[in-house]
Amino acid sequence: NAGVTQTPKFRVLKTGQSMTLLCAQDMNHEYMYWYRQDPGMGLRLIHYSVGEGTTAKGEVPDGYNVSRLKKQNFLLGLESAAPSQTSVYFCASSSYQGSSLAFFGQGTRLTVV
């Protein structure tokens, strides 16, 4: 019963490098989200998806791209990493049916040097 799984858990990037964070959920949820959390602050929504093949901008989308080619996966891409993107990234999923609880991954700690 994996729930929401994020890979990798840790990563160090050099400025200008690119990378992709993977989020996978096994609950058949329609909605998926990517958040970032900076030290001492709350979670801010980067991008989200309401279904396979759809994505939308959240509160802080600049510098990130996302794709949802399969319902169970939501990818977050950084094309040219900047030190300001040093953060902890969380993925979540929820269903619009039933109680619509959101389930979260354990986070990816990204450092851009």
Partner 1 sequence: DAKTTQPTSMDCAEGRAANLPCNHSTISGNEYVYWYRQIHSQGPQYIIHGLKNNETNEMASLIITEDRKSSTLILPHATLRDTAVYYCIKRTSYDKVIFGPGTSLSVIP
Q: Residue 88 interacts with partner 1 (CB under 8 A)?
A: yes
Q: Which is nearer to partner 1, 17 or 95 (CB)?
A: 95
Q: Rounded distance, CA 48 to CA 32, Å?
A: 6
Stretch of 11-19, 29-37, 61-69, 73-81 lying at the interface with partner 1 (CB under 8 A): 29-37
Binder among 19, 58, 65, 67 for partner 1 (CB under 8 A): 58
Is residue 24 within 8 Å of residue 72, measured between CB atoms? yes
Q: Is 107 helix (H, G, I), strand (E, B) or coil?
A: coil
Subset of residues 3 to 22 that bind partner 1, contact rule: CB under 8 A? 4
Stretch of 12-20, 27-35, 68-76, 77-85 lying at the interface with partner 1 (CB under 8 A): 27-35
In the complex, minimum distance from the CB of residue 16 to partner 1, in angstroms, rounded to a whole number: 27
Stretch of 17-25, 62-70, 76-84, 93-101 lying at the interface with partner 1 (CB under 8 A): 93-101
DSSP letter for each residue of 52-98: TT--EE-SS-TT-EEE-SSTTEEEEEESS--GGG-EEEEEEEE-SST
Burial status of residue 18 (CB atoms within 10 A of its CB: 0-12, 13-18, 19 or more): exposed
